[in-house]
Structure formats: C-alpha cells, structure tokens
Amino acid sequence: MIDTDRVARLIDTKKERFFAVADRIWELAETRWEEHQSMAAQIESIGNEGFRIETGIAGIPTAFVAEAGTDGPVIAILGEYDALAGLSQEDGLAAPQQAARNTSGHGHGCGHNLLGTAGLMAAVAVKDYLAANGLPGRVRYYGCPAEEGGSAKTFMVREGVFADVDAALSWHPGSYNALMNGDSLANIQVYFRFKGRASHAAAAPHLGRSALDAVGLMSAGVNYMREHMPSDARIHYAYTDMGGVAPNVVQATSAVLYLIRARDLTTMNALFERVKKIAEGAALMTETTVEVEVDKACSNMLGNDPLERAMQANLDALGAPPFDAADHAAAARFHATVTNEEIESGAKRFGVPVEKGAVLHNGVVPMSEQRPFMSGSTDVGDVSWAVPTAQVWTACYTFGTPGHSWQLTGQGRLPAAHKGMTQAAKIMAATAVDALLDPALLAKAKADHAARTAATPYVCPIPEGVVPPCSR
C-alpha cells in the first residue's frame, strides 16, 4: 500500500476550491438529464487542472469524461451531480424551508453535489501524484448525470465507454464511515399508459371506457401481488396522468410509472413480467388498451473482494473526517429532527450499536465478511458488472438522516459535509494509486471479477432501442 498521507496532503492543498464547486452545484440543484450548468462547473474545475475532456459521452449531453496521464492502467473515478425534484431546503436550517437562492424547487437530497466533487478531488490528486513521481498510468473521471431515476451509467456501459477501464471507484455521502460492499437491488422503471374512451359521466357513462379505472385496477392488482413476491423485492409507483380534473368526464387517458426492484436481474425481470400481466388484465377488465414503455433500468452491485479490501485498508488508515465541536453542534440541530427509529435503522444497516448521545460518526465500521443488504439501487451496479468496482461511505450527515429528505439537503453545505467529502476523496485517490502501482492488486481484482461473471455474464437490463430522453 502507498503512503496514504502523501496522497491526502495533495488533496488538502486544493480542497477549498473544490468546496466552492460542491456549493455551486448544491445551489443549481438540477434534476436528471438537465444538469448542464452543474456539468459546466465540473468541467471548468477539472479543465483548469490540465485534464483532457470529452463531452456528450454515450450520446448524453450532460455526461463527460476527463482524463490525465499516459500509458499504463486506466482507473475510473465516478461522479454524479443530479438533484432530486421538490427537495429544496435552506442550508443549515433544521426546519423545512425552501432555499432562498433556489428558484427551481429542487434539492440535493442524496448529496450528489458532494459525490461528484469528491470524484474530481480524487482524480486531480491521482494526476498530481503520478506527475510528481514520473509514473505511468491514467486516471479518468466520469461525469455521470441522472443517477436518480435515469440510470445514465447503464446507458454508458451499454455504449462501451468503460471498455478499456481496469477498475472503477466511487463513494456515497452518508452517516457512517464504512466500506460500501452491500448488495443493492436491480431495478426497472416503466410507464404504463392506458387509453380508453371519453364520455359524459352522467348522461352516457355506459359509452365511456375509463383509463383511470384501469390504472386503479392495476394498482390494486400489484398491491395484492406484494404478498406473493420475494420479501426483499420492492415495487413503487406514481400516477403521472390522472386523465384530467373533471369528475363528470369518463377519463380517456391515464398513466402510471412503476419502479420494480429485486436482488438480481432474473428476479426483477420475472416480477416485471407479472406486473405487465396485471396491466393487461386491467386493460381487459375496462376495455381499454395499455402501452408499456421502459424508461430506464440498472443492475445489482457486483462485489470485488481484492479491490474492496484495498479500499477498506485506506479507510482504516485515514479514519473518520476530523469533525470539531462546531460540526457536532450543527449536527445536533438536525439530529433533533429525526426519529429514534431512523437512528436505529441506520445503525442496524451497518451492524453497529447506536451511539448514545453521539450525533456524528467518529469511527470506522470494520469490513463485513458477509455482504449486507443495501436495499437501495444504483447504476454503479452496471459499472461493477463491466469492470472491478469498489465504493465507500463517509460520514457527512448526522445519524438517522433519512435519504431523499429535506434534512439531508439542509446539511449538504455544512463544514461537516465538506469534511466527509474530502475524506472520501482521499480514500478513493489512495486506492486508485494502489491499483495503478500494484499490478498484483489489479490482477487479483480482475480475476475476482471474471470468476463472478463467468456463470452469469452481464446483460444490459435496458432493452435495445430505449435511449435517454435527452438523446431523443
């Protein structure tokens, strides 16, 4: 393993300029496929560090790649910068209130302003380390939009943009410092659009065929199905077209967007087929028609033991972010807004006891030998099927902070979040340099990856012909 302190110092010399990038992206709060200004802020920052930049990756206007170095292996560092709709929140305020500087109504309720910026910091540190020591190797930062509800990386993997990558690294902001080696859920997001026949609801209801009734029957059918599917699978839905607001009209159109999740693609696809049958049954019962349109999909995470152990070693060496009394005081305000159940759920997820009286994680969770169940989904999963991949969590928020919440958005510009982001950058950069300088580590990581994919080769879960909406 390399001298992690030396890599860490490279990040510390430039961290303040990257804090400004993270805060700028927090203010912009651009949602999936719309991250033009956020991408521009990232490109300007890493372009000033001498990286070679290519935009429009995989035909996606808000995706880019920045590369530095020559010859040798290619280590990818992944970054995201998309926000969530409707989660604007005044920074530092521990009560729900839309941010004064944010007119979009959106917010970084999953911390992607930090996620992408730490990737930039890590990539720059690796470039500086290689240059200072005259070493071969390439570091490549992938600017990835639309992780939330878009699965941009899945489209990028399908287009082969990771084909020459030797290993990939990423992270996610959280409430604990821990290796991110849990099993995620594969998912598929699908529109079901029903068409019927409009009619006067009182004068001629018998002539109408209600698309809204069809959506209601479909929802009822799927809810009955929940008892008869794997307990760790998930199905969510949102009505996207109610057919109108007039109750005296038989609604001729209606649509619902379903998100179907399961531990692996085989189970997910089987559930999808069952949901489609329910939709077809609802259409049959109401004498309507249904159109099925896949919006996006992503695979479950594939582990990589050698690369994850290398990342854990750097996490252990670097430790927790250096929180001070002011950080704990700010976190305590938000800690008072979360429930005991939320705090206990987070601790259980990482297999650690609840720290009585604590508001920020000051330790490191040991690496679990059994892959824990992560329950969420990420398009990093598809990258992990393409190349050896490892990820880490670092503490940026108080214990119990719910994901996709105003509390998380409100902590996204605090000094504690910057410190957690910086620590993640150091861990990723140190692990990247390890992989570049240790041929044996890369060889073991590739052998592990080959063994995991031998029986079940990767098949992209997004059907051919489905393209991102921004590319249409």
Average pLDDT over the chain, rounded to an integer: 96
**Which tens digit of pLDDT belongs to each residue from 258-277?**
999 999 999 999 999 999 99
Residue 215 counted as domain residue: yes
Judgement on whether residues 233 and 380 belong to the same structural domain of the protein: no
* DSSP 8-state assignment for residue 300: P
Question: Range with the lowest mean pLDDT among 118-127, 157-166, 463-472?
Answer: 463-472
Q: What pLDDT is attached to residue 368?
A: 84
Per DSSP, the three-state class of 454 is helix
Q: What is the percent of the chain with per-residue pLDDT over 70, rounded to a whole number?
A: 100
Cβ atoms 7, 433 nearer than 8 A: yes
Tokens of 446: 């590739």
pLDDT at 370 over 80: no
CATH number of the domain that 257 lies in? 3.30.70.360
Residue 253 belongs to what H/E stretch? Answer: strand 253-262
- Residue 65 sits at φ, ψ, to 5 deg, of -130, 135
Residue 141 counted as domain residue: yes
Q: What pLDDT is attached to residue 384?
A: 98
Cβ atoms 67, 52 nearer than 8 A: yes
Q: CA 276, CA 169: separation in Å to the nearest integer?
A: 36
Cβ atoms 77, 119 nearer than 8 A: yes
Last residue of a domain, one of 270, 298, 326: 298
Cβ atoms 8, 318 nearer than 8 A: yes
Mean pLDDT of 284-291: 98
Q: What pLDDT is attached to residue 104?
A: 84
**Among 371, 375, 365, which residue's Cα sits nearest to residue 305?**
371
Per DSSP, the three-state class of 237 is strand
Last residue of a domain, one of 298, 328, 343: 298
- Residue 50 sits at φ, ψ, to 5 deg, of 90, 15
**Which tens digit of pLDDT belongs to each residue from 424-471?**
999 999 999 999 999 999 999 999 999 999 999 999 999 999 999 887
Give the residue numbers spanning the domain of 372.
4-184+300-454
What is the number of residues in the chain? 472
Judgement on whether residues 272 and 171 belong to the same structural domain of the protein: no
Token pair 């410190």 in the structure block, residue: 419
Cβ atoms 297, 158 nearer than 8 A: no
Residue 463 counted as domain residue: no
pTM, whole model, 2 decimals?
Answer: 0.95
Q: CA 3, CA 430: separation in Å to the nearest integer?
A: 8
Judgement on whether residues 121 and 13 belong to the same structural domain of the protein: yes
Judgement on whether residues 168 and 45 belong to the same structural domain of the protein: yes
pLDDT at 183 over 90: no
Which residue spans within 18-129 are E strands per DSSP?
52-55, 64-70, 74-80
Cβ atoms 423, 102 nearer than 8 A: no
pLDDT band of 300, cuts 50, 70, 90 = very high
pLDDT at 1 over 60: no
Mean pLDDT of 83-101: 94
Helix then strand then coil, % of the chain, to nearest 5: 45, 20, 40
Question: Range with the lowest mean pLDDT among 24-28, 100-104, 276-280?
Answer: 100-104
Judgement on whether residues 148 and 37 belong to the same structural domain of the protein: yes
Judgement on whether residues 144 and 87 belong to the same structural domain of the protein: yes
Which residue spans within 275-433 are E strands per DSSP?
289-298, 389-395
Mean pLDDT of 46-57: 97
- Residue 238 sits at φ, ψ, to 5 deg, of -145, 135
Judgement on whether residues 323 and 430 belong to the same structural domain of the protein: yes
pLDDT at 145 over 70: yes
pLDDT at 219 over 80: yes
Question: Range with the lowest mean pLDDT among 3-12, 66-75, 241-250, 313-322?
Answer: 3-12
Judgement on whether residues 164 and 226 belong to the same structural domain of the protein: no
Residue 321 counted as domain residue: yes
Residue 340 counted as domain residue: yes
Q: CA 346, CA 289: separation in Å to the nearest integer?
A: 44
Report how many domains make up the chain.
Answer: 2
pLDDT at 102 over 60: yes
**Which tens digit of pLDDT belongs to each residue from 375-402?**
889 999 999 999 999 999 999 999 999 9
Q: What pLDDT is attached to residue 103?
A: 74
Q: At what angle do helices 325-335 and 415-437 cross, to 10 degrees?
A: 110
Judgement on whether residues 32 and 175 belong to the same structural domain of the protein: yes
Q: What pLDDT is attached to residue 118?
A: 98
CATH number of the domain that 417 lies in? 3.40.630.10
Judgement on whether residues 16 and 132 belong to the same structural domain of the protein: yes
pLDDT band of 321, cuts 50, 70, 90 = very high
Tokens of 353: 């006891």
Q: What pLDDT is attached to residue 242?
A: 95
Judgement on whether residues 51 and 21 belong to the same structural domain of the protein: yes
Q: CA 229, CA 236: separation in Å to the nearest integer?
A: 14
Judgement on whether residues 176 and 216 belong to the same structural domain of the protein: no
Cβ atoms 349, 269 nearer than 8 A: no
Q: CA 416, CA 414: separation in Å to the nearest integer?
A: 5
Residue 107 counted as domain residue: yes
Residue 12 counted as domain residue: yes
Question: Range with the lowest mean pLDDT among 23-37, 104-118, 364-378, 404-418?
Answer: 364-378
Tokens of 158: 């399908």
